[in-house]
Chain A
Amino acid sequence: MHLAKLRLYILVALIMGLGIGLILYKHFALGFPLSPDDQKPVWTIEARIDFAARGDPVIVSFALPPKTPDIIFIEEEFASPDYGFSELISPSGRRAQWSKRTATGAQTAYYRLSLYDTRQKSGVDAVDLPTEPEKPEFDEVLKTAAITLLDQVRNRSANTETFTRELISTLNSGAPSQNQSLLLNDQSNEDYKTHLIINLLAMEGISARIVRGLYLQDGRRRQTLTNFVEVYLGGEWRLYNQKTAEIGKPKNFLIWQRGDQSLLDVVGGKNSQISFSMIKNVQSARDLVARNSMNQQAGIIDFSIYSLPIEQQNAFKMILLLPIGALIVVVMRLLIGLRTSGTFMPILIALALIQTTLLTGIVIFLIVVGTGLLIRSYLSRLNLLFVARISAVIIVVIAIIASISIISNKLGLDQALTVTFFPMIILSWTIERMSVLWEEDGPREVFIQGGGSLLTAIIAYLFMTNRTIEYLTFNFPELMLVNLALILILGQYTGYRLTELYRFHSLERRNVSS
């Protein structure tokens, strides 16, 4: 006996562990949210490339943002009428290439990207090592100015990190010294400043590179990329804002391109321009994750309910709720000790209640069973064989249901039309059983068992219609394993049922007095 119990507990632990493990895996590794209300902002970014073609062959090459683990691209679209298109992957990053034999006049190409942030920390790849910084070529005047500036900055800093920050803030200071003005050359051009910072850092022997990116702000149009400086510091690349000298990637900043390649090359065109517009919308995190996992063919998702057609998925939504109902019945019967007519009839009533909504469902149930009992008591006088009688009850039930539908329709009570969702055979059996119960054990027993069934059904209904439970059972079918483990444990419960504490309460008093 001991061994059998041990075996059961091991089994329960295994099932429970497997179920919880799968849930945790899906939550943490695949990002499935545990709440149905979990939503993620999805950004749709559109890059519009305009240029004037000269009638020659045209090649447009456009840098695309790199794919990183912290950002999921839901969809990428490339559009440009009559152009050939290909996506090229080079060591320096992905590029889109549009091409056409001849084109004249104003041309436009679009690139649209939808993405969301997984909010996961992504380590910058270790392979992305910097090359030895090339010493920049400055003319004498500039070189002197640069050396003086670097000396000042060096004096005010302690290490590479503070040096870089100090250099950027000095270059951005509101009251520039002569040296700074000379170096900045009165050019407010972003790219010029970025390259100046990189060059100055190179003179100091620090590796740095340009990073172009896009601030994601809802509803913005005609945006341009913003330049950042990425500095190789202590074995990793650190991003510096070249205006404020702040370290790190700002929130809602999408890195579009790293390194010094051009963002856009147009061969056979002129006056090329690029502008970005973006909008944000909110989508259910569950949908996004499920779609993404499907795309990546994560085994656990690829062989899951999501792979079924939508119609079957909806059927499963209901089916996967049944174990919850079963658990409620087990709890009500083993722990509470409620008597129900038919073990699992409450679940069937609960399923019907889901379709009809609670109050309407209960009213309909009571009307059908009540009327059925009345008619059944007449049938019992007709001296019928049992099978014929139960069949007659089925027909009576259908007639009642039909009349309820018709009358309520005439009265304009649309809710009552859902009456057809009640399982008619089960209702007939209920009526038959209750009527026999009435004859043999009296109306009291009928009310106890009928009430017990209805109460269990209502509780099961409340659980099964709970949004979170509905969401969890469908998206984490592994919960069934946890449910199974719970039922296995409950099957071992040998303590008193709640109703037995009432049933035996007179014993307590007598034993105390004696």
Chain B
Amino acid sequence: MFLASAKKLRSFGIIGMNQRNFGLISRYNPRRLYPLVDDKLKTKLLAQQAGITVPKLLGTLQYQHDVRLLKEILQPHDQFVIKPVKGSGGKGILVITEVEHNLYFKPSGDAVPLEDIERHVSNILSGLHSLGGKPDTVMIESLIQLDPVFADYSYEGIPDIRIIVFRGYPIMAMLRLTTHASDGKANLHQGAVGVGIDIGTGEALHAVQYGNPISRHPDTRKTFAELTIPHWDKLLQLAAACYEMTGLGYLGADLVLDRDQGPMIIELNARPGLAIQVANAAGLAPRVAVIEALAAIDPDPQSRMEFSKRQFKQNPPAHQPRMARTRSDDS
């Protein structure tokens, strides 16, 4: 069978695109708050104010004539990441891990001359990667150092952890591992591996690549069974705190573990995708329903994190009685 039955999917609580747009995004994310997360500089600033660790900002470029300053900005750094401030879905991100004789090297080992980087920056400024093609700003960040925990699970890139935070409660999490196919990017569309993570423990549950279940990393051949994410409580707490930071009721927080600085937030997303359900082999709807049923939202991220850990822990205890409906179905 190529198609799943809609009835079964509904009974598992899988949320579809239409319901996500209608019942989650348009209901819990006021449009005026979007710029806070669509503009990565603003997000960074907010996070810093909230005392959350973020990758260090090395510089920004706003105008085309700034492009010639690029060399100067990059001069002191061996490793850096160039990002469009308003890019989405990991578009336009260029990672440089090594500089040698005026040649810049990507994680894959490909050499990039300065002119190519300048053109890339110029494209970003022209709005090639921004929503609606609006003029954009370039930000240059320090490179995140791979935590040794992931050394066996990543290929030419830094894995990140996507946590869905609903009304301040982390409800689902997924580890995105870079692969050869994904060109070192943690983008599931391009072939990165998505690993569902138990909210209760930080242990790996399931893994998928291109929507199909796998048990080993396709490049390193390492099984996911013994994978447990360290600093799990801290990661959950950081994600939970993003609710106060942005006011968005339904958001996807992208976090990374830095070898030296520990958990940090790299990006927030007001329209997080649905692939996380495939990686977890579970639907969002029952978890959304649990949170929607709460009379009040706990103001403390710490206790929200505790609540989520108890509530969404996978095994044991056995599953909660499934409430496959969100509030939108009742009205």
Contact = CB atoms under 8 A, between A and B. Distances in A.
Nearest to A514: B281
B8 interface: yes
A334 interface: yes
**Most chain B CB inside 10 Å of its own CB: which residue of A334, A386, A441, A507:** A507
A493 interface: yes
A508 B128 contact: no
B281 A334 contact: no
| 3 cross-chain pairs, A with B, having the tightest CB-CB distances, nearest first | A386-B126, A494-B19, A496-B16
A493 B189 contact: no
B331 A2 contact: yes
A503 interface: yes
Main SS at interface, chain B: helix
Contact of B4 (A337, A441, A445, A501): A501
Contacts of A504: 4, 9, 14, 277-278
Contacts of B278: 503-504, 506-507
Nearest to A496: B16
A506 B209 CA distance: 12
Given A442-B190, A507-B4, 9 more contacts: A386-B127, A495-B16, A496-B6, A505-B4, A506-B211, A506-B212, A506-B213, A507-B14, A512-B8
B296 interface: no
Contacts of A495: 6, 16, 18-19
A441 B3 contact: no
A2 B330 CA distance: 9
Interface in A130-147: none
B315 to A, nearest CB: 10
9 contacts: A1-B331, A493-B18, A494-B22, A498-B3, A500-B17, A505-B1, A505-B4, A508-B12, A514-B281
Given A1-B331, A2-B331, A510 B281 contact: yes
Interface string B1-34: 1111110111010101111001100000000000
Contacts of B1: 505
A98 to B, nearest CB: 74
Interface stretch (B35-43, B75-83, B115-123, B239-247): B115-123
Interface of A: 1-2, 5, 334, 337, 383, 385-387, 436, 440-442, 445, 492-498, 500-508, 510-512, 514
Given A493-B18, A495-B19, A501-B3, A511 B189 contact: no
A495 B189 CA distance: 23
Contact of B91 (A440, A511, A512): A440
B64 interface: yes
Nearest to B27: A1
B102 interface: no
A4 to B, nearest CB: 8
Contacts of A386: 122-123, 125-128
A5 B206 CA distance: 39
Contacts of B128: 386, 436
B190 A441 contact: yes
B208 interface: yes
Nearest to B3: A501
B220 interface: no
B12 A511 contact: yes
Contact of A494 (B18, B211, B277): B18
A445 B122 CA distance: 24
B190 A334 contact: no
Contacts of B277: 504, 507
**Most chain B CB inside 10 Å of its own CB: which residue of A436, A498, A504:** A504
A338 to B, nearest CB: 12
Interface in B98-130: 115, 118-119, 122-123, 125-128
Interface in B40-91: 64, 91
Contacts of B12: 507-508, 511
B328 interface: yes
B9 A383 contact: no
A436 B189 CA distance: 15
A494 B16 contact: yes
Contact of A510 (B3, B126, B127, B213): B213
Nearest to A432: B128
Contacts of A440: 91-92
B331 A496 contact: no
Contacts of B17: 337, 497, 500
A271 to B, nearest CB: 85
Contacts of B18: 334, 493-497
A383 B119 contact: yes
A502 B23 contact: no
A198 to B, nearest CB: 76
A442 B190 CA distance: 8
B23 A494 contact: yes
Contacts of A505: 1-4
A391 B262 CA distance: 46
Interface in B289-313: none
A504 B327 CA distance: 22
Given A436-B128, A445-B189, A495-B16, A506 B208 contact: yes
B9 A507 contact: yes
A231 to B, nearest CB: 68
B113 to A, nearest CB: 11
Contacts of A385: 64, 122, 126
Contacts of A337: 17
A506 B9 CA distance: 11
A512 B189 CA distance: 26
Contacts of B123: 386
Contacts of B10: 496
Nearest to A382: B119
